[in-house]
Amino acid sequence: MKIIVLGSGVVGTTSAYFLARAGHEVTVIERQDGAALETSFANAGEVSSGMAAPWAAPGIPMKALRWLAMRHSPLVVRPSFDPRMWRWLMQMLGNCNPASYAVNKSRMVRLAEYSRDCLIALREETGIAYDHRSKGTLQVFRNPRQLDEAQDDIAVLQRYGVPHALFDAAGCETVEPALARVRGKIVGGLHLPCDETGDCFKFTQALAQMAKGLGVVFRNKVEIRRLLHEGDAVTAVDTSLGELKADAFVMALGSYSPLMLAPLGIKIPVYPVKGYSITLPIIDAASAPESTIMEETYKVGITRLGERIRVGGTAEIAGYDLRLHEARRATLVHAVSELFPGGGDVEKATFWCGLRPMTPDGTPVIGPTRYRKLFLNTGHGTLGWTMSCGSARVLADLVSGRAPEIDTEGLSIERYRP
């Protein structure tokens, strides 16, 4: 089939690649000058299937109140009159119960584990390079209460057979030796040895080149205006190049997907949650992380990417606002300086933000819509990099009329129907 993919972030680009491998003629439409220049550009760098979990969890409402009072808060809410913001927040709060959390996390872990396996297979087949490391994730706890609160997540990992180990402070130092230099600041950690790290931007750019080798056409700097339909079938996309027709269309516009879908009467509860990152050059390798640290207090990821350290975090609910706030930079600098002092040059750090497309239950939306020819692959939140290859494989199978290799229960738009 002739297929148009809307968006060339990591989700859109992987979708295009796997659709082309399935034998389709694929065109990607992108408003930027190339792939991965928005939300996929400078994320935290984690491919963390073991850390796949919804933000909507039991106890989060009370934690959120504590976070909002912190100087270096992991949560920032900038109230507006946008009814979508408040509706999304209420839906998220509605998922903050044990039953919903268990269901949502199980869906996310299933997809994330599959996606990691797809990424490994892709790397072995193609030799794609992106500052990749396979040394796992270490979630570090600063107090015993955080250790206790991790037990529910550990139970899910056990249920799905995800390798993990709970360490005391000394055990954490065996995984991340630089932590010995700040002994006394952490009490323990949860190690997920199968997690990986890598530069999402480098990966997406390299995969886009490989996709071109399969015949994929990337049309960059093109404005996407609206989807056109006749009856119950989408027939074309109206762009600054004119109307482009295809046999199928894949919506992979991240946080902007619901804006494009709304005129068709399709409502998906995807809302932008802004995340920030800094990237700093390593100046002392022995004082830098070996892989990824998840700092539980500030909800910050600290990742080694080649000769750089990427520090990512903050959930800022502020609509489509892309302004960089210096207070968020201060939080990221504080987190990396606390655990890895002297590892990187914070004075030379670059500062960035991106809009994560979040669903209130944490699970992305993948699959067909009520309009024939229109498919979704969006709403991955903080896990677009982690889930990209698996989501693209599932999407390519569904578009091609094949049964996906994993159970897709709970991934489609149907879960939002009354």
| Closest alpha carbon to 310 in 386, 206, 201 | 201
Is 175 annotated as ligand-binding? no
Is 359 annotated as ligand-binding? no
Is 17 annotated as ligand-binding? yes
Is 275 annotated as ligand-binding? no
Is 11 annotated as ligand-binding? yes
Provide the H-helix boundaries in 176-237: 200-213
Is 12 annotated as ligand-binding? yes
Q: Which helix (H) or strand (E) holds 4?
A: strand 2-6
d(Cα 92, Cα 104) in Å, to the nearest integer? Answer: 12
Is 126 annotated as ligand-binding? no
Is 5 annotated as ligand-binding? yes
Is 282 annotated as ligand-binding? no
d(Cα 55, Cα 181) in Å, to the nearest integer? Answer: 31
Euclidean distance between the first and the last CA atom of the chain, given in angstroms as a whole number:
33
d(Cα 375, Cα 353) in Å, to the nearest integer? Answer: 28
Strands 46-47, 196-197: pairing kind: antiparallel
6 touches 384 (CB < 8 A): no
Is 10 annotated as ligand-binding? yes
Is 4 annotated as ligand-binding? yes
SS3 200: helix
Is 23 annotated as ligand-binding? no
d(Cα 329, Cα 314) in Å, to the nearest integer? Answer: 10
Is 369 annotated as ligand-binding? no
Is 14 annotated as ligand-binding? yes
Q: Which helix (H) or strand (E) holds 154?
A: helix 151-159
DSSP assignment, residue 94? H
Is 13 annotated as ligand-binding? yes
Q: Is the dihedral of CA 180, 182, 188, 194 positive or negative?
A: negative
Known binding residues for FAD: 3-17
Known binding residues: 3-17
